[in-house]
Amino acid sequence: MASAPDSTTGRPDRVAGALLGVHAGDALGATVEFDSWEYIRFRYPGGVREIMGGGVFEWPPGHATDDTDLTRAVALAYLDPGDDVVLAAARRMLNWYEGDWPGRAPGRPPVDVGGATEDGLRAFAQTGDPGGSGAGPGRAGNGSLMRCIPTALAVRDRDRRIRDSMRISAVTHSDVRCTVACAAYNEIVAALVDGVAANGAVAAGAAVARELHNTDVLAAIALGERLDLAELARTGVTGLPDDGNGYVLDSLALAVAAVLDLRDLTDVLIDIVALGNDSDTNAAIAGGLLGARDGASSIPDGWLSLLQFRVEFTEIAAVFGRR
């Protein structure tokens, strides 16, 4: 059972921590994305403890991968939503896909994009309809869960937060496991930034899954409540359906286990990354919950200083924190 929240950590720090936690987890895990637990244990016997960049896509240290980039796209949509924040988010994500993005030559596509995300954004480019472009049932990757956290930070009304979470997921990931996972995750985040203890926040996420009658998401949350991340990192035996290799419910279970872990954010993220496979996305999703729990002040300065969008995310968080 998780301890009570630190009373010295205020809501603005937790809002910033949520965004920067995604970014930091992403950057930490990018070094070993797609690597196995065995290789990581051999190459980094003490775990990946610093943001180093590299990996299969040769990232500069702290550079955003698709996890952070698409989180930024959704966050920017909430700053300037127009008449429909879902349409605004879809347009920002399409900008990213088509090469209108910081740190990239104009028109140059991203080097890393998930298949469902690519298919959904291509469909949106053709139809202009964010509600009809998702990759469809049966494709339940973690590509919408990794980017959904801005909704939890920007929207105070619970019903709208659930609705936005599911609709923004469905732009690319319309499988109900993805849409409900995003809604449940964002209720956990919203509770954490309001100062609810981790176990109570997880209960809020489970309540959403129950209301939406999704037993798969409920089971993933329950699995996360049983996982011991230190043991998983020590043995490499996860017990997850897809071994943490991109399935949305694996990533949700790991994030729940992370936020219920009593250790510091850094130790928990190091263990998430040590599991390998989709290491950057798993760590980004878990990092969002840990940052919402512990605040931006819990993220090491050496990590923060390298993050590509640190300043911008801090400014966005300040806006969200006043809502």
Feature table: binding site for Mg(2+) = 65-67, 278, 280-281
Here the tokens at position 239 are: 């017990």
Which residue ranges make up the annotated binding site?
65-67, 278, 280-281
Measure CA 234 to chain center: 24
Cα separation values, 47 from 34, 43, 234, 271, Å: 15, 9, 10, 7
d(CA 173, CA 258): 24
Residue 14 dihedral angles phi and psi, to the nearest 5°: -70, -35
d(CA 235, CA 22): 25
Pure H helices in 132-278: 149-154, 158-170, 176-193, 198-211, 215-226, 229-235, 248-260, 265-274
Contact 59, 42 (CB under 8 A): no
Contact 86, 167 (CB under 8 A): yes
d(CA 265, CA 255): 12
d(CA 255, CA 139): 20
d(CA 179, CA 29): 24
Here the tokens at position 34 are: 């797609």
Closest CA to 16 of 298, 301, 305, 302: 298
User: Which of left, alpha, beta for 104 (phi over 0: left; psi -120 to 50: alpha)?
Assistant: beta
d(CA 44, CA 35): 12
Q: What is the dihedral of CA 194, 196, 200, 206, to 10 degrees?
A: 10
